[in-house]
């Protein structure tokens, strides 16, 4: 676990109690919202309950997609009116800000219920079949664009998705545990959470992706940094998986993946050359979302096969990720919180 001493802050109903060399006032994070996540059957992936125009739906939690999307099937079911997106159109954001994107088909949503909050007069992207087909056990993809200016708290052990205000005492975020935590520098670019990790003693740049069922590494990183060679006992094909350009996907069992002291032993990591479609029900599938303008896959994508073992808190203002091993059961903070809006 992470070495070194730091002041411990205990979140209580009237504020925060910080215990360190000198007891000083310390602002606690402002609690904003909470949702109970539901696992996708046969997978470590998580869905989030929402209401769309009063109808209960489920969206896949994905911290790698640039924007939130709704499925074509739900558009047809609810008769959502399509509109061509125009710069400056109103989009839902949990702190009330707006964003702009390239022109693309969108739908108008009169009301979105997310946990205990609601937003009205919204527009969302309509997915295509490569992004979100018509036979998935969820109705859309919930991405980081809705959480761009809050602290995002993903408690996979208790299956809770929470968010807090970003204005608080630095480090005063670990309300759930008295155990040591990993404190990792984190940046958010293009909606993606980027963190440094160490694998078998080598530093690697990684993306936290809750929409990926499996953890994967780009092939040139595996070969040049770790000396792996394809079609050897150390790097064998991962069944019949292919990437977006039809190249073989391989697999390798590394010894240890470390997030500043939170260690995952013997992780089985997929190794791929190009971007590929994620079949979020079971892992990876044939087909391609890759376009000539798309960047290469990240050096390392940390998927839900590893993330489901963790509790992850993204402190937006601090640009840090706080991580512990996942606990079990509810914390005191959320026991009195009512069911999501619309239920």
Q: pLDDT for 155-169, tens place per residue?
A: 998 899 999 998 888
pLDDT computed for residue 3 by the predictor: 35
- Cα–Cα distance measured from residue 279 to residue 237, given in angstroms and rounded to the nearest whole number: 18
Q: Tell me what the pLDDT averaged over the chain comes to.
A: 79
Is the pLDDT at 46 greater than 70, yes or no? yes
Is the pLDDT at 286 greater than 50, yes or no? no
Better-predicted residue by pLDDT, 175 or 81: 81
pLDDT-derived band at 334 (thresholds 50, 70, 90) equals low
Q: Tokens in use for 181?
A: 């935590």
Lowest mean pLDDT among 20-24, 26-30, 102-106, 330-334: 20-24
Q: Tokens in use for 31?
A: 């609690």
Pair 276, 288: CB distance under 8 Å:
yes
pLDDT computed for residue 329 by the predictor: 61
pTM here is 0.79
Cα angle 236, 44, 245 (rounded to 5 degrees) comes to 45
- Cα–Cα distance measured from residue 60 to residue 45, given in angstroms and rounded to the nearest whole number: 8
- Cα–Cα distance measured from residue 30 to residue 15, given in angstroms and rounded to the nearest whole number: 9
Lowest mean pLDDT among 60-74, 185-199, 267-281, 315-329: 267-281
Topology of the domain comprising 182-325: Cathepsin D, subunit A; domain 1 (2.40.70)
pLDDT computed for residue 70 by the predictor: 93
Calculate the alpha carbon distances from 293 to 275, 289, 290, 296 in Å.
12, 11, 8, 9
């Amino acid at each position: 676990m992470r070495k070194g001493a730091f002041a411990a802050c205990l979140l209580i109903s009237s504020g925060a109690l910080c215990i360190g060399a000198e007891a000083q006032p310390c602002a606690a994070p402002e609690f904003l919202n909470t949702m109970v996540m539901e696992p996708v059957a046969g997978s470590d992936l998580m869905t989030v309950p929402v209401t769309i125009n009063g109808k209960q739906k489920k969206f896949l939690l994905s911290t790698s997609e640039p924007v939130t999307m709704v499925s074509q099937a739900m558009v047809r079911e609810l008769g959502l009116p399509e509109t061509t997106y125009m710069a400056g159109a109103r989009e839902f954001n949990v702190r009330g800000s707006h964003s702009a994107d390239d022109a693309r088909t969108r739908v108008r949503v009169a009301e979105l219920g997310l946990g205990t909050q609601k937003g009205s007069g919204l527009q969302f992207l309509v997915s295509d079949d490569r992004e979100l087909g018509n036979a998935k056990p969820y109705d859309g993809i919930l991405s980081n664009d809705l959480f761009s200016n809050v602290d995002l708290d993903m408690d996979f052990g208790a299956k809770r998705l929470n968010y807090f205000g970003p204005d608080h005492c630095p480090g005063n975020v670990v309300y759930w545990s008295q155990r040591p935590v990993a404190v990792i520098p984190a940046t958010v670019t293009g909606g993606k959470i980027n963190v440094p990790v160490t694998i078998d003693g080598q530093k690697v740049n990684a993306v936290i992706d809750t929409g990926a069922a499996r953890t994967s590494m780009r092939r040139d990183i595996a070969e040049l940094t770790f000396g792996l060679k394809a079609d050897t006992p150390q790097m064998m094909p991962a069944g019949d998986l292919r990437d977006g350009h039809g190249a073989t996907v391989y697999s390798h069992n590394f010894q240890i993946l470390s997030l500043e002291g939170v260690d995952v032993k013997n992780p089985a990591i997929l190794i791929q050359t190009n971007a590929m479609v994620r079949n979020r029900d079971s892992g990876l599938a044939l087909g391609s979302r890759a376009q000539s303008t798309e960047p290469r896959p990240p050096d390392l994508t940390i998927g839900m096969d590893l993330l489901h073992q963790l509790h992850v808190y993204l402190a937006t203002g601090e640009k840090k990720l706080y991580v512990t091993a996942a606990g079990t059961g509810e914390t005191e903070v959320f026991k009195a919180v009512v069911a999501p809006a619309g239920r």
